[in-house]
A and B are shown apart, each in its own frame.
Chain A
Amino acid sequence: MVTKKEIKQSFFIALWFMVLTFPLMVIKVNTIKNIVVFRWTNLIWVGIVGFLASLIWNYFLRMKDEKKKADTKDNIPIVHRLLQNEKFRIPFLAAIGIFALVYPFVFPMYHTSIMISALVYVMLGLGLNIVVGLAGLLDLGYVAFYAVGAYAYALLNLHFGISFWVVLPIAALLGTIFGTLLGYPVLRLRGDYLAIVTLGFGEIIRIVLENWDELGNGPRGIGNIPSPSFFGHQFNQHNSVIYIYFIVIALVLLTIFFVNRLENSRIGRAWIALRDDEIACQAMGIDKFKTKLTAFALGATWAALGGVVFAAKTSFINPMSFTIWESITILCVVVIGGMGSAIGVIAGALVLILLPEYLRAVAEYRMLVFGALQVVVMVFKPEGLIQGVRKIYKFKKVEE
């Protein structure tokens, strides 16, 4: 149970919090009457809450340590266990499928709209997961490729009237090309250096878009981007949101499908080997540079696809949508969800994008709560919400 040391520690933490919050919680200046009010009861509350919070925090930390000692082997996340179990897999997936199908008809348009944003982040997260989670390349300029996709749709539609469905593959290709072009000089670097240079590249793309007026109207952006059509039929605004919702669902499924295949292929294994040990990886006959470049280019492809959907959904884009914060958010999705784990990234995107929206109930504290939650996740589950597991191969002898 609670040790003496913990009580002592919590006591001092409570004291520290009382001192820290003293100016905020206790002193109140009444400017009308020109007096200072001291709210001493608040101080007591801060003390009590601080003390209890610290005790609970310590308790959970200790539980985590004990759990770690108890089972080192059976720490496969529950979602994976559900998916591996034949009996549960079908109903589990079916439930999710049905939920996804009826979602836009049951919930108001606002909810469908934010779900689309979240699903776009699922795509972006899965794309970045290839780069950061699997290949271990810290990319802080990922949003640049997102911008490439969004601007590809906006500009091609504006100048040539090309429709959403035609732009989709073109944008994917453009993303791959940009990924390769940017990756080529950058990938000689590693770790922190790579992070800084990609960050620079991301900013370059944004600044170019902001200042090149002839290309995309600079900061004024491009408006009136049409939403996707259905065999020539254009929906009204309400139905169009539902339509985009299903397009995103389809794209997310496609992403999961391909990423899952890649992850357990020759290329996917090479990415993970590269992440784990670069020198050993080369000594096993893997071309380091080519492997890095494929990861970078493939990640960029999905970012561009996400960009097209984003442009179609918002119908207006300007460079402000592609700041460094977007890159950070996508990185948070990957890290908090679980590096290298597709299911983790999906969970991460849903939590990270939906939570701030639904936290509007607590109004001005929502970002505070959001930040605190991120810290809690990283302290208690540093490997992310849902850790990745490696494929277990079945052995059937191959007849030669």
Chain B
Amino acid sequence: MEPILNVKNLTMNFGGLKALDTVNLTVEKGQIAALIGPNGAGKTTFFNCITGIYEPSEGLVEITPPGKPTQKLNGLKTNYVTERGLARTFQNIRLFEGMTVLENVMIGRHCRLKSGIIKAMLRTSSQKDEEKQAVYDSYEILEKIGLDQYVDEMAVNLPYGAQRRLEIARALATDPFLLLLDEPAAGMNPQETKELDELIVWLRDNENVSILLIEHDMKLVMSLSDNIHVVDYGKKIAEGTPEEVKSNPEVIKAYLGDESEDA
């Protein structure tokens, strides 16, 4: 299978600190991949590097959107990365609090809409149609994610689990082919986590997106993932199916510590 995301030798230096050290990672079409590792291993830095929030010091980030040629993402600004079909959520929820739930999703549609200032001021028929379509599309996404009951609520008033789902809905509105989820289950109760598990599988099966997620909830990771990448201290230490990773001595050492260190 052709990988849709191909990261080669990604290195990120913050001054003298090597947050990421020659990390290789690929995500294939239709895959749910997970990136795991202890706290401070560089997982979120990895996301930030691919999505253009940081510019990687070295290495190559390539994407192959379905039906399109391979493109390089290095050095592109975040908004252009999103335009090319990579959407992400954030570890600490970053919703637009001054807007309603629907408008939050409509913001996700932003880069797929075209009307500018002049059209908005004159409210041309093409702008009106586009707005109507955007409202309709956004509502449809909320229905799919199961948030349609909150449509006119202010985003900030939503319960925690719903806020996390809204982040996914918003990312989905940008029409991505790859979703990057940064700890989507953080702070969720077991019931919410179970629903999230179902949602992610459903997204992969019905929305034609592949998923790369960072997660600490091992139960969720093991049940969801087709492929797991493990990083520790900025280095990739293992890759494989859940079974392989579980029994990998390096991974066990990273998570539980070396016996010799305990002395």
Contacts and interface: CB of A to CB of B under 8 A. Distances in A.
B83 A285 contact: yes
B110 A284 contact: yes
Given A269-B107, A269-B110, A270-B110, A261 B100 contact: no
Contacts of B68: none
Nearest to B83: A285
B127 interface: yes
B99 interface: yes
Contacts, number: 120
A280 B99 contact: no
B111 A286 contact: yes
Contact of B99 (A272, A282, A298, A397): A272
B120 A272 contact: no
A345 B24 CA distance: 54
B100 A285 contact: no
Interface in B51-101: 51, 53, 77-79, 82-83, 87-88, 90, 94-100
Contacts of B88: 283
A348 interface: no
Nearest to B176: A285
Given A279-B94, A283-B88, A269 B99 contact: yes
B252 interface: no
Interface in A266-305: 266-270, 272-273, 275-277, 279-288, 294, 298
B190 interface: no
Contacts of A391: 103
Interface stretch (B131-139, B194-202, B222-230): B131-139
A390 B107 contact: no
B113 A279 contact: no
A203 B15 CA distance: 39
Contact of A276 (B83, B90, B97, B123): B97
A276 B98 contact: yes
A398 interface: yes
Contacts of A262: 117, 120-121
A142 to B, nearest CB: 19
A276 B120 contact: no
Interface string B135-174: 1100100000000000010100100000000000011001
Contact of A284 (B82, B97, B136): B82
Contacts of B103: 269, 272, 390-391
Interface residues of A, number: 37
Nearest to A388: B98
B123 A261 contact: yes
A227 to B, nearest CB: 28
A393 to B, nearest CB: 5
Task: Give the most central of A272, A277, A393: most B CB within 10 Å.
Answer: A393
- Residue in A266, A277, A390, A391 with the greatest tally of chain B CB atoms within 10 Å: A266
A110 interface: no
A30 interface: no
A285 B53 contact: no
Contacts of A72: 157
B168 to A, nearest CB: 13
A258 interface: yes
Given A266-B110, A269-B99, A273-B96, A261 B157 contact: no
B100 A392 contact: yes
B152 to A, nearest CB: 5
A298 B78 CA distance: 25
A383 to B, nearest CB: 11
Contact of B120 (A261, A340, A396): A261
A265 interface: yes
Contacts of A277: 94-97
A369 B191 CA distance: 57
A355 B121 CA distance: 33
A395 interface: yes
Interface in A352-400: 390-393, 395-398
Given A262-B120, A294-B117, A283 B82 contact: yes
Contacts of A272: 96, 98-99, 103
A269 B78 CA distance: 18
Interface bin, chain B: 35 or more
Nearest to A290: B79
Given A272-B96, A283-B51, A266 B120 contact: yes
Given A270-B107, A272-B96, A276-B96, A285 B120 contact: no
Contact of A286 (B99, B110, B135): B110
B77 A273 contact: no
A267 B102 CA distance: 16
B116 interface: yes
B110 A279 contact: no
A340 B171 CA distance: 26
B115 interface: yes
B106 interface: yes
B242 interface: no
A295 to B, nearest CB: 10
Contacts of A294: 117
A283 B78 contact: yes
A398 B136 contact: yes
A261 B94 contact: no
Contacts of A258: 121
A391 B101 CA distance: 11
Given A277-B95, A280-B95, A340-B98, 4 more contacts: A265-B120, A266-B134, A276-B96, A390-B98
14 contacts: A262-B117, A267-B116, A272-B96, A273-B96, A275-B98, A279-B94, A282-B82, A283-B53, A284-B107, A284-B108, A284-B110, A285-B82, A285-B112, A286-B111
Interface of B: 51, 53, 77-79, 82-83, 87-88, 90, 94-100, 102-103, 106-108, 110-113, 115-117, 120-121, 123, 127, 130-136, 139, 152, 154, 157, 170-171, 174
Closest 7 pairs between A and B when the two form their complex, measured CB to CB: A285-B111, A265-B120, A285-B82, A280-B94, A276-B96, A282-B78, A398-B136
